[in-house]
Amino acid sequence: MFLNEIKKLDCELKLDRPLSDFCTFRIGGRAKYIIVVYDNDTLLKVCHICILHHIKYKIIGLGANLLFSDKGYNGAIIITKAKKIYRKNTAIYVDSGTTIGELIQYCYQNDLSGLEAFSGIPSTLGGAIVNSLGAFDTNISDMVDYVICYKKDDIKKRLILNNTECKFRYRDSVFKSGDYIITRIKLTLKIDNKKDIYARQIEYLKRKYDSQPITLPSAGSIFKRGDIIPAKVIDDLGLKGYKIGGAAVSNKHAGFIVNLGNARSKDVKNIIQYIDNKVYKIYKTRLELEIEYVDD
């Protein structure tokens, strides 16, 4: 019954697929259902069907900040590719499945500035909002007017949360709980000329490529900054290149754990635990994860 209802919708349904195909870490067991949607109406319909049939579900974009369990996910992973964008003066209204790259290109074509620091970051706007994305002293939260969303357990009620209600903090927001379905975001940007916008994009891309291990699969920075800077501390402890199984601390940026080709979730988790114990032994503080672990 569940599958029949899903098949009636304008979406893609994939059965028993490896989650490693749907995240930037390229790690993870098999998901019972992968459902790809291309508009917000279908997204909400799929969620409603999951609720009716007691199918647990998780909504993702590019899977850029996730570590999936080796055991997979016995439910529905819903991938949103809803990508409508429209503009009113310096305000833009953007569907949550729009990638940061697509959004930056739209802004460039429309002489809008503000997002250049995020060039090269593999994320959807929805993911950026959930994780309160920041890069090079630029924060996505500073540009958010409001977020249109629905409670995951009550998708009949449409909510509009203003910036304050989103409770943005460093790499955190009210949406990090997983209790909300984000559909659209209103951002306010600034007018600038294409030449300067493009120059900043290239500058930030170069800085990213020079400092981060972009040629290997990863989930970005593993740990949040706190009383200490994790990358510096990990480097000082001589842990660059430390390896367990197919995963390793990046030799280029100690804040990243990379997949050398055959990494498993348990390899990453064991490295995280090893690093945390080493840091605690010397600095008497625990590291806080920036990535999200998704298990069954």
Host H or E run for residue 183: strand 180-188
Catalytic residue, from 69, 113, 221, 250: name it: 221
Give the active site residue among 26, 30, 132, 171. 171
Contacts of 223 by beta carbon, 8 Å cutoff, 6+ apart: 230, 255, 275, 287, 288, 289, 290
Give CA separation, 124 vs 135, 182, 185, in Å.
15, 11, 12
CA distance 160 to 158: 7
Known active-site residue 12: no
The whole-angstrom separation of Cα 131 and Cα 291 is 9
26 classed as catalytic: no
CB of 98 within 8 A of CB of 125?
Answer: yes
Active-site residue, selected from the candidate residues 96, 123, 250, 290: 290
113 in catalytic set: no
d(CA 60, CA 22): 9
Q: Is 233 exposed, middle or buried (0-12, 13-18, 19+ CB in 10 A)?
A: buried
Active-site amino acid positions: 171, 221, 290
